[in-house]
Amino acid sequence: MRKLSRREAILIFFLGLILVVGVGIFSWLLPLRANIDILKTENANLHERATQMKLLVERKPEVALRKYLAEGEVKESLNLLSDLIAPEVFDVYLQGIAAKHELKLVEVLYGNAEAGSPTADSVSQNEVLYNLQEWMDEYLKIQAEHPKATVVTSYEVLKRTIKISMQGATNKTYDFIDDLNQDLKTGFITSYTFESVIGTQLFLDIYYLDKMQSSE
């Protein structure tokens, strides 16, 4: 076999070097490194998730307590609202307080349930405005009263209007009204008419929510 010349040997060395570096580094080490980087990122994410989940599971008693308290707050807020006004149930109550105050119910009409956002409109005095008013107020040391803002909500609840016509002693009617106002948490008398010959007529708006839980 012929002995390699120095030039050939150097050429083969460089070819070998290219082969080793090319295959070893570029085709093996670098993809391996990239793979490891991906695995490291995945590992870090998994560790973080595991820590979070572990912490979450460890917080079970605290979460359970928070849930209990939050549920209690819902119940407390719901208790401030009237219950579902079913005519057949409400009528028993109405007949009861009418009988208690010796009143005769002439007409009771239950309107349909409808959705509505309650408002509390501030009542303001209708005043005639005139251009000397400001100076007169200044002279009389009258401070312009700013009317209270109307309290509104965008949330809707259910509302049912009930018309009640009755006959009986006037003072008994007042007791009847007081009982209604006391018993109905979110019931409001919007209209009242008393005529000495006919009797008393009331329009009652009751805002309520259906608080019964569905039986699943």
**Interaction with another protein in 88-117: which residues (CB under 8 A)?**
none
Q: Measured between alpha carbons, how far is residue 210 from residues 81, 93, 136 in Å? A: 10, 18, 54
Give the CA dihedral 82, 84, 87, 90, nearest 10 degrees: -40
If the CB atoms of residues 88 and 182 are measured against another protein, the closer one turns out to be: 182
Residue with Cβ nearer another protein (135 or 140)? 140
Angle among Cα 90, 92, 93 to the nearest 5 degrees reads 65
Interaction between residue 192 and another protein (CB under 8 A): yes
Residues 21-80 binding another protein (CB under 8 A) are 21, 24-25, 28-29, 32-33, 35-36, 39-40, 42-43, 46-47, 49-50, 53-54, 56-57, 59-60, 63-64, 66-67, 70-71, 73-74, 77-78, 80
The answer to whether the beta carbons of residues 166 and 98 sit under 8 Å apart is: yes
- In this structure, the dihedral spanned by the alpha carbons of residues 109, 113, 116 and 119, taken in order and rounded to 10 degrees, is 40
Helix (H, G, I), strand (E, B), or coil: what is residue 66? Answer: helix
Taking CB under 8 A as the criterion, the residue among 181, 183, 210, 211 binding another protein is 181
Binding string to another protein for residues 160 to 179, with x set by CB under 8 A, is what? ----------x--xxx-xx-
211 lies in the binding site for another protein (CB under 8 A) = no
